[in-house]
Structure 1
Amino acid sequence: MRLVVALGGNALLRRGQSFSAEHLLENVKGVAAQLARVALQHELVVTHGNGPQIGLLALQNSAYKAVAPYPLDMLGAQTEGMIGYLLEQELANHLPPDRCVASLLTRVEVDPGDPAFQRPTKPIGPVYTKDEADKLAQAMHWRIAADGTGFRRVVASPRPVRVLGVNPVRWLLHRQAVVIAAGGGGIPVVRAADGKSREGVDAVIDKDLTSALLAQELDADCLLIATDVDAVYLDWGTPQERALRKARPRDLQAHLFPAGSMGPKVQAACGFALNTGKKALIGSLAQIEEMLAGTAGTEISTGGGAAQGNLKQHDPALFSKPA
């Protein structure tokens, strides 16, 4: 089976942890052991988020005043290389010596007219208190939005239009390589004024939407989105919260999910299921193997049967509306 597994940036660096290299490496080691076992049974493409990491780089970037800060596309490329390197090394440590692991920098085309450039929603960097966030917003001219019980910087997150460089991924898969690609949603580029060349743009693409597009282009059998919660929940944070085990896209589309967290994951999973007729899975990073076995997470597919988990199409949407 050909799998695309999308690792959340917050799952690789868990909430509450310091942004240290040691914590990132520790978490990558844990997930690499799981992914290596999956890779022994399946063709595997790994994507990953970069929200915490690119936010940290942006903070470090802003501290040096002698030059203008580097744009987000360049910082995204740095995170793609950094996290890709760690995943590649740790996967290789767990796989047979003759099994190749390859990390690719991946450009992803976006529409320069995407309204997301005017409505930033993608959280990056640390979680702040309200007072900290207000001070930073004023000093750094940042957009700030609520994220759970705290606040984070938000930046433009345009929809991916085209994943560039899919053919090298196919070539590597045909040679039994494990491929790491489209990290952080890919490096955002737009067509230049000449209509032929491309240039980078200051944005961060949602990695789940890019992962779904890549999985579709690769004719993957399953899209698995691994995050820091164990399933898709209704009534999250209330006494009535309940996990969904199986759901159809049309059921989920009757509900609103937070734009900066679960919303893009559900949107990506539904899009993949609708466009391919195949299943998508959402759940905990620690339960990747269980999700594939059908014993954990939320399965989203177009198959028949009632959704499990007390999901009703006409339930009131109690999730926060997208920002």
Structure 2
Amino acid sequence: MLVVIALGGNALLKRGEPPTAGNQRANVKRAAAAIAEVVRAGHRVVVCHGNGPQVGLLALQSAAYKPDEAYPLDVLGAETEGMIGYLVEQELENALPQGPRVATLLTQVEVDPADPAFRHPTKPVGPVYEREEAERLSKSRGWAVAPDGDKYRRVVASPLPKHIPDVSVIKLLLEQNVIVVCAGGGGIPVVRRPDGGLMGVEAVIDKDRSAKLLAQDLGADALLMLTDVDAVYRNWGQPDQTAIRKAVPGELDPGDFPAGSMRPKVEAASAFVRATGGIAGIGALEDALAILERHAGTLIA
């Protein structure tokens, strides 16, 4: 099968963990081991990844240097694609020394400049803060902030992906049996200019939605969204929380899940299955192959 695997930002940098190069390398190595199991089972793989913690950190570093010259989010997104892609590529090749080669592709993803998401930011980026610190940063830097569990995070615009201009290049690489790491962080957000060219825009696209679009465009058989929880839960965080192990698309209402975390995964999984008749799985990173084989996680089919 052709499998598109979307790695959550929290799977690459655990919640509350210091965003050091060493920590990210260790987590990427763990992710590569899980993906390698899928490849050794005979499947072709395309890998996407989140970048919420990383792009937020780069934004902080950029603003700390010269706040009036801070890099826009599309440029920071490209930086994180290169940084994380390098780590994933290297660790996958280390995990599969006799396996297929790996290539990272910086991937532009076109969005609609009139998307209402630009007026209503929801995508969490960067580290978590206590409420007082989040409110101070919101006032001093003009950020939008929102609750994330019992903490707060910066939130930015997350428009829907419309088109992946580089999909033909990804297909060429797949034809040569290359594992492709692409659309990292949801891809570099761009809009179409009046002259037909592309230009970057201040946003972070949800990587699960981009992974769904990519999986459809590639004709993938399966879409796996791997994160730091073992399944989708009803009433998450409540005493009566219950894991959902199997569902058909119409059974799950995305509105029942948090907007910045599980909701886009449920939306993407259901939309992919409806559009293609394939399968979609959501669950823990280490369960990648077991989810694909219908033994773990939440399966939507």
Question: Normalising TM by the smaller chain, what interval?
Answer: over 0.9
Distance apart, 1:34 and its partner CA: 1.7
Task: Name the SS of the counterpart of 1:291 in structure 2.
Answer: helix
Given that residues 39 and 178 in structure 1 are in contact (C-alpha distance below 8 angstroms), is that contact kept between their aligned partners in structure 2? no
Higher helix share: 2
CA distance in 1 between partners of 2:46 and 2:208 (Å): 13
Show structure 1 runs of 5+ residues with no match: 302-323
| Superposition deviation, residue 256 in structure 1 | 2.1
**Residue aligning to 1:201:** 201
Q: Which moved more, 1:215-224 or 1:98-107?
A: 98-107
Residues 105-137 of structure 1 show CA distances to partners (whole Å, capped at 9, x for unaligned) of 000000000000000000000011101101111
Equivalent pair of 2:254/2:264 in contact (CA under 8 Å): no
What letter corresponds to residue 276 of structure 1 in structure 2?
T
Q: Distance in 2 between matches of 1:172 and 1:24?
A: 26
Deviation at residue 96 of structure 1 after TM alignment: 3.0
The answer for the alignment partner of 1:61 in structure 2 is: 62
What secondary structure does 1:85 align onto?
A: helix
Given that residues 137 and 143 in structure 2 are in contact (C-alpha distance below 8 angstroms), is that contact kept between their aligned partners in structure 1? yes
1:112/1:28 CA distance change after superposition, 3 Å = same
Alpha carbons of 1:67 and 1:137: their partners in 2 closer, same or farther (altered >3 Å)? closer
TM-score, normalisation: structure 1? 0.91
Q: Which ranges in structure 2 are unaligned for 5 or more consecutive residues?
A: none
2:37 is matched with 37
Residues 1:191 and 2:198 aligned together: no
Counterpart contact for 1:145–1:154, Cα < 8 Å: yes
Classify the secondary structure of the residue corresponding to 2:219.
Answer: coil
- Cα shift at 1:99: 2.2
Q: 2:142 corresponds to which residue?
A: 141
> Over aligned residue pairs, what C-alpha RMSD do you find?
1.1
Look up the equivalent residue of 2:94 and give its one-letter code.
N
Query: What is the number of equivalent residue pairs in this alignment?
Result: 300
Aligned to 2:152: 151
Question: What is the aligned-residue identity percentage?
Answer: 56
Cα deviation digits, residues 33-85 of structure 1 (max 9, x gap): 12122122111000000000000000000001275111000000000000000
Moved more, 223-232 or 62-71: 62-71
Work out the CA distance in 1 between the residues paired with 2:126 and 2:219.
33
Report the Cα distance in structure 1 between the residues aligned to 2:55 and 2:67, rounded to whole angstroms.
21
Q: Which residue of 2 aligns with 1:87?
A: 88
Q: Which runs of 4+ in 1 moved over 3 A?
A: none
Give 1:253 deviation, angstroms. 2.3
**Which runs of structure 2 are paired with 1:233-272 in the superposition (5 Å)?**
233-253=233-253, 255-272=255-272
